[in-house]
Amino acid sequence: MTRLLCALLFCFTACFQAHSAEENNLKVLDYPELHVTPSASQRLERLAKRERADRLKNHSAMFLSSIATLVATFQATDSPQVSDDPDNVDQNQISTQVGLAVGGGWLLTNLLLATSYNPYSKGYGEIKKMKAGSQRERLAKERFAEEALYRPAKLGTRLLWFSVITNLAASAYMMGYANADAKLAAGVSAAVALGPIFFPYNWIESANQHRLYKKKIYGPVASLTLLRDGSQNQQPQAGLGVTYSF
């Protein structure tokens, strides 16, 4: 009888604690935007202050990729393979025109982005005057701040992959119809074209870092529970359960 009462008391205590812990965690997890540290608005403010100073670093990999393509283009100009086939000369001229368009186009695109595109400053300017007195107002401010973080990351991802594909294709095209020296330059250009994958825009890294911190709010939740003791009779005993939510 005493064991039964102890078991009932333990079950009641465990259920009450688990229910209380669940309620508290649900309150926290209702709006993770309000609990991530640093918050989206804080991160946006910091990035906005550094935006002008970091612009060359932000575009450095894309600059190098476009410049490498242009160097290979100049090297391949009037440098066709030694062959009796006149088609090689024509294809070499076309490939250098493609390389000039791709390399020059990406160089110009990133120069324009570096000088005139300031997404963090614009985003922070839109939210810094927003009220943050009530929970609803704070939530709205943080969600608008997250949009300002994710928007340039989405653009940067598209530009990155389009740049890699076009610069690789242009370099491969020049390699097919140029002489040995120009082939080497085009091969280097193809390798450098992959650089933005390993050194992406700061826009992408900042957004990914915020998503990671936001995800960490959904951590393990521990609670008391009853577990089988593993014996033949499978007797219940006190234990600690850990659940993960993502």
Tens of pLDDT, residue by residue over 153-167, are: 999 999 999 999 999
187-203 pLDDT, tens per residue?
999 999 999 999 999 99
Q: State the average pLDDT over residues 78-107.
A: 85
Choose the weakest-confidence range: 14-18, 140-144, 169-173.
14-18
Supply the pLDDT for residue 22.
44
Percent of all residues in the chain with a pLDDT value above 70, rounded to a whole number: 74
Whether residue 69 contacts residue 170, with contact meaning beta carbons closer than 8 Å, is answered with yes
The whole-angstrom distance between residue 137's C-alpha and the CA centroid of its chain comes to: 27
pLDDT band at 118 (very low <50, low <70, confident <90, very high): very high
pLDDT band at 176 (very low <50, low <70, confident <90, very high): confident
pLDDT band at 222 (very low <50, low <70, confident <90, very high): low
Q: State the average pLDDT over residues 89-100.
A: 90
Percent of all residues in the chain with a pLDDT value above 90, rounded to a whole number: 58
Supply the pLDDT for residue 31.
80
Alpha helices in the chain (DSSP H): 2-29, 40-50, 55-76, 86-116, 119-127, 135-177, 180-192, 195-198, 202-215
pTM, entire model = 0.75
Nearest to 196 by CA among 227, 154, 161: 161
pLDDT at 20 over 70: no
Supply the pLDDT for residue 208.
96
